[in-house]
């Protein structure tokens, strides 16, 4: 899979805390990536096995909003992302 700078920016918040589950809205805020770029990257990473996702466990009627899709790094995704950042150096995103 081709890794772009935007892909690294998407991965970076997950590496800060690999157990976090983040929605697309969360990632847009933290990575500052436009939605048109973010969602294809999320699908791409999930297709490649870097991410897994699930629906938020809430009742939309009770919380007054639709369910969010939550993404989380898989074990292999974490290993590959860590290796990737180690080879690139984290300064690339600074």
Q: Which is nearer to other proteins, 71 or 81 (CB)?
A: 71
Q: What are phi and psi of 68, to 5 degrees?
A: -95, 155
DSSP 50-61: SEEEEE-SS-HH
Shortest spacing between CB 11 and other proteins, in angstroms: 18
Per CB under 8 A, residues contacting other proteins are 2, 23-25, 28, 34-40, 43-44, 46-49, 52-56, 59-61, 64-69
**49 and 77 Cβ atoms separated by less than 8 Å:** yes
Given the complex with other proteins, which of 65 and 90 has the nearer CB atom?
65
Rank residues 25 and 90 by Cβ distance to other proteins and give the closer one. 25
Tokens of 1: 């899979």
Distance CA 22, CA 36 (A): 17
Q: Give the three-state DSSP class for 34.
A: coil
| 54 versus 90: smaller Cβ distance to other proteins | 54
């Amino acid at each position: 899979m081709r890794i772009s700078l935007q892909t690294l920016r998407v991965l970076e918040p997950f590496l800060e805390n690999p157990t976090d589950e983040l929605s697309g809205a969360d990632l847009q805020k933290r990575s500052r990536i436009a939605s048109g770029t973010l969602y294809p990257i999320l699908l791409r990473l999930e297709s490649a096995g870097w991410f897994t996702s699930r629906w938020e466990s809430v009742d939309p009627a009770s919380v007054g909003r639709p369910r969010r899709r939550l993404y989380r790094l898989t074990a292999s995704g974490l290993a590959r992302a860590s290796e990737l950042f180690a080879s690139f150096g984290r300064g690339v995103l600074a």
